[in-house]
Amino acid sequence: MTDTSVSAANRTRPGRRAGFRGDVQGLRAFAVLAVIGVHLWPEFLPGGFAGVDVFFVISGFLITSHLLKELESTGRVRLVRFYT
């Protein structure tokens, strides 16, 4: 018997981690490539701070999401566990 109350968004495909956001990880990869591109070709890609800014914003989103999930599931946030 299957549980139909679980939404499609909350189910994971086989081989996928629960909570993995491929779209957000793709944006992070794009930001890293932008930063690398500015370091390799600074004369062709001026204003390299945008890639760093995008990377930090997306990383902040992921970190906050992770901490909020822990707070919701356990009722507390353990920063030492998070950093390890």
13 secondary structure, DSSP code: -
* Digit-coded pLDDT (tens) for 22-55: 888 888 888 888 888 888 888 876 766 777 787 8
**4 within some domain:** no
Distance separating alpha carbons of residues 38 and 44, to the nearest angstrom: 8
Residue 81 has pLDDT above 80, yes or no: yes
Query: The pTM is what?
Result: 0.56
pLDDT at position 2 over 60: no
The angle at the Cα of 73, spanning 4 to 81, to the nearest 5 degrees, equals 135
Expressed as residue numbers, the domain containing 37 is: 20-83
Query: What's the domain count of the chain?
Result: 1
Q: How many CB atoms lie within 10 A of CB 44?
A: 8
Q: Is residue 73 part of a domain?
A: yes
Ramachandran category for residue 19: left, alpha or beta (phi over 0 → left; psi -120 to 50 → alpha): left
Which uninterrupted H or E stretch holds 2?
none
Tokens coding 81: 């566990």
Residue 64 domain flag: yes
